[in-house]
Amino acid sequence: GAVVSQHPSRVICKSGTSVKIECRSLDFQATTMFWYRQFPKQSLMLMATSNEGSKATYEQGVEKDKFLINHASLTLSTLTVTSAHPEDSSFYICSARDGNRGTYEQYFGPGTRLTVT
Amino acid sequence: AQSVTQPDIHITVSEGASLELRCNYSYGATPYLFWYVQSPGQGLQLLLKYFSGDTLVQGIKGFEAEFKRSQSSFNLRKPSVHWSDAAEYFCAAILSGSARQLTFGSGTQLTVLP
C-alpha cells in the first residue's frame, strides 16, 4: 500500500516551453502533497506544500509563477514548469501524506527527470 | 536553527562488513526521524522511522537505527552490508511547524567493495 506514481519519468523539452508533471497517490487519499527538487549529488529541496483544494505554499526563493502547482483532487497533484529554461533541468520528486492514517509519514514518487535544451 | 546533519558525505565499506551512518539533529524537542535510501535516478524508499517508544528501531533490508536523545543522534546500522546496499542514504526529520515538513540531511553516499 501507499504507492505514489509520477508521470512522466523523463521528459526533454525545448527552452521556453511548459512541462507538466503529474503525481498520483494510487491507493490512498493524499490530503497533503509535497514537491521537491534535487540537483545531482545533492539532497532534496522542498519547493512547495499543497493541500487538496487550496493554494500551494511555496518555500522561500521558489517562483510561484514559474512552478505552478495544482492539487485539485485527493489523488492528484500537478507541477507545471512554465517557460522552462536549461537551469530548470533537475530531478523533481513528489511525496504525499495519507490524511486517513494520522501520521506524518510521506510516501515518495519515483521522480521525474526534466531536461531543458 | 533547526537542522539535520549527516557528517559523512561518502563512506566505503567492504561487502560483509558492518555499517554505521551518522545522523544528528538540532531541535529543542524530540523530532520524528526517518532514514531513506535512494538508488541512482530513483525516488526515496523508507528504511525505518522513529516517532516514540523503543529507541532501537528495526527497518527493512536488515537495517536498524538507534535514537539517542542525549546525543541528538539517530544513526543507521547494518551488521553485514551487501553489494546491493550501495546507494545514497538520507536522514530526515520532522522538526516543527504545522505543515510537518521533512527536513533532510545532505545525504551519505555508500560504496560497497567486493
Give, in order, the Cα–Cα distances in Å from B58 to each of A65, B20, B95, B103.
Answer: 43, 14, 22, 21
Residue B53 contacts by C-beta under 8 Å, 6 or more apart in sequence?
A: none
Q: Measured between CB atoms, which of A42, A93, A104 is closest to B32?
A: A104
Q: Helix (H, G, I), strand (E, B), or coil: what is residue B97?
A: coil
In Å, how far is A55's CA from the nearest CA of chain B? 14
Q: What is the pLDDT of residue B66?
A: 97
Instruction: List % helix, strand, coil for chain A (3-state, nearest 5).
Output: 5, 55, 45
pLDDT by residue, tens only, chain A of 117 residues: 789 999 999 999 999 999 999 999 998 999 899 999 998 888 899 999 998 888 899 999 999 999 999 998 899 999 999 999 999 999 999 999 987 776 778 899 999 999 999
Residue A110 is placed in which grid cell? Answer: 519515483
Low-confidence ranges of chain B (pLDDT < 70): 1, 96-99
Q: What is the pLDDT of residue B96?
A: 65
Q: Name every residue in B having a CB less than 8 A away from some CB of A.
A: 32, 34, 36, 41-46, 49, 51, 90, 94, 99-102, 104-107, 109
Taking CB atoms and an 8 Å cutoff, what residues of chain A touch B90?
Answer: 43-44
Chain A segment 65-104 residues within 8 A of B by beta carbon are 91, 93, 95, 97, 103-104
Q: What is the pLDDT of residue B10?
A: 96
Q: What is d(CA B43, CA B65) in angstroms, rounded to the nearest whole number? A: 21
Q: What is d(CA B99, CA B107) in angstroms, rounded to the nearest whole number? A: 23
- From the list B53, B62, B91, B96, the residue with the least C-alpha distance to B75 is B91
Q: What is the pLDDT of residue A98?
A: 85
| Residue bearing cell 512547495 | A48
The residues with which A24 forms a beta bridge, in sequence order, are A5, A76
- From the list B108, B105, B24, the residue with the least C-alpha distance to B69 is B24
